Amino acid sequence: MSEMTLNLKVWRQDGPDSSGKMVSYTLKNVSTHMSFLEMLDVLNEQLIAEGKDPVEFDNDCREGICGMCSLVIDGVAHGPWKRTATCQLHMREYKDGDTISVEPFRAEGFPVLKDLVVDRSSFDRIVAAGGYVSMNTGNAPDGNAVPISKEMADQAMDSAACIGCGACVAACPNASAALFVGAKISQYTFLPQGDPERGRRAVRMVEQMDEEGFGNCSNHGECEAVCPKGISIMNIGRMRREYVKGMIS
């Protein structure tokens, strides 16, 4: 069947100071070739035609790169597909007559702005606290100017693959941002360019994470399970080691 009818339960909330609720919609003629966000576009076209407010949801690249498509689908951040952002989830996952619930990421550090859109500027403030290298760059250096082993470069790139979507926070029962912060710290830990701030980077970023209201990691592992880029929880252990080193240095 190339088209189907879906029953949607979507979180609707007018603003950060308003109370929200799940609202039910019936959406017909949904193509199995659509992406999940295209399906929401169709829903909004229907709502606009009925003179109702469309559902606000965040998105940009629709290529699984930017991480803005932050939705909890049937209780799972980014939906049922492993290592897939919401924008890359397709409706062929579902069948005619299915009921699908759609909610925003929920955490103190991610206040809801409207409907399915949350404010994730807390992540920006965490990165600004220490996720950088302060040096005069001048012209782009030669790629081989600083020798780095392939193993170290690969591990740095694995950590840098984090797109900052916040799925780890949404999945964690403690709403911890430890996987995100661990990845952002780790990507510099493997590289000599990260050494100038190494002694204070983890301390500043962890302190900012706590200030933003995120919880502590208790090793449940849900963060890694829903991460669209498969970021390893080994980064959390590395963050903790870097934090201890920073505190005693």
CA gap 2, 30 in Å, rounded: 8
Residues 107 and 136 in one domain: no
**Which range has the worst mean pLDDT, 1-5, 187-191, 203-207, 225-229?**
1-5
Residue 27 has pLDDT above 80, yes or no: yes
Residues 60 and 87 in one domain: yes
Residues 149 and 227 in one domain: yes
Mean pLDDT to the nearest integer, 73-94:
97
β partners of residue 71: 104
Residues 108 and 128 in one domain: no
Strand pairing report for 99-104 and 3-12: parallel
Out of 14-18, 101-105, 135-139, give the one with best mean pLDDT.
Answer: 101-105
Residues 133 and 242 in one domain: yes
- Per the model's pLDDT, the better-predicted residue between 114 and 144 turns out to be 114
Which domain-ending residue is among 114, 140, 168? Answer: 114
Cβ–Cβ < 8 Å for 41, 69: no
Q: What is the pLDDT of residue 146?
A: 80
Which domain-ending residue is among 114, 144, 164? Answer: 114
Mean pLDDT to the nearest integer, 184-207:
93
pLDDT band at residue 103 using 50, 70 and 90 as cut-offs:
very high
Q: List CB contacts of 29: < 8 A, sequence separation 6 or more.
A: 3, 5
Q: What angle do CA 153, 210, 119 make, to 5 degrees?
A: 85
Cβ–Cβ < 8 Å for 103, 72: yes
pLDDT band at residue 228 using 50, 70 and 90 as cut-offs:
very high
Residues 243 and 157 in one domain: yes
Residues 234 and 132 in one domain: yes
Cβ–Cβ < 8 Å for 205, 131: yes
User: What are the pLDDT digits (tens) for 125-178?
Assistant: 999 999 988 876 677 777 677 888 999 999 999 999 999 999 999 999 999 999
Look up the CATH number of the domain holding residue 11.
3.10.20.30
Look up the CATH number of the domain holding residue 211.
1.10.1060.10
Residues 157 and 219 in one domain: yes
Q: How many domains does the chain have?
A: 2
Residue 1 has pLDDT above 60, yes or no: no
Q: What is the pLDDT of residue 142?
A: 75
- What percentage of residues in the chain have a pLDDT greater than 70? 98
Cβ–Cβ < 8 Å for 70, 105: yes
Report the chain's mean pLDDT, rounded to a whole number.
Answer: 95
Q: What is the pLDDT of residue 145?
A: 78
- What percentage of residues in the chain have a pLDDT greater than 90? 89
Residues 83 and 135 in one domain: no
Tokens of 4: 């189907």
State the DSSP string of the chain: --EEEEEEEEEE-SSTTS--EEEEEEEEEEETTSBHHHHHHHHHHHHHHTT-PPPP---S-SSSSS----EEETTEET-SSTT--GGG-BGGGS-TT-EEEEEE--BTTB-EEETTEE--HHHHHHHHHH-S--S---SPPPTTSS---HHHHHHHHHHHT-----HHHHHSTT-B-HHHHHHHHHHHHTSGGGGGGHHHHHHHHHHHHHHTT-B---S--HHHHH-TT---THHHHHHHHHHHHHHH-
Residue 58 has pLDDT above 80, yes or no: yes
Which domain-ending residue is among 114, 136, 152? Answer: 114
Domain that holds residue 144: 121-248
Residues 191 and 216 in one domain: yes
